[in-house]
Amino acid sequence: MAIAPAKLSDPVVGALVAAVNAHDKDAFLKLLTADATMSDDGFDRDLHEWIDREIFDSSGHMDVQSESDGGRALVVNYRTDTWGEMRTAWRFTIAPGGGRISRFETGQA
Class of 5-108 in CATH: alpha beta
Of 98 and 108, which is predicted with more confidence? 108
pLDDT in tens, 61-86: 999 999 999 999 999 999 999 989 99
Mean per-residue pLDDT over the chain, rounded: 96
Q: Which residues contact 67 (CB under 8 A, 6 or more apart)?
A: 3, 8, 9, 73, 74, 75
Q: Please, which pLDDT band fits residue 53 given cuts at 50, 70 and 90?
A: very high
Q: Please, which pLDDT band fits residue 93 given cuts at 50, 70 and 90?
A: very high
pLDDT mean over 25-38: 98
pLDDT score, position 98: 72
Domain ranges of the chain: 5-108
Q: Exposure string (b/e) for 55-64, b if CB count within 10 Å is 16 or more?
A: bbeeebbbbb
| Beta strand spans in the chain (E) | 32-40, 43-45, 61-68, 73-80, 84-94, 101-108
Q: Which residues contact 7 (CB under 8 A, 6 or more apart)?
A: 14
Q: Please, which pLDDT band fits residue 91 given cuts at 50, 70 and 90?
A: very high
CB atoms within 10 A of CB 39: 16
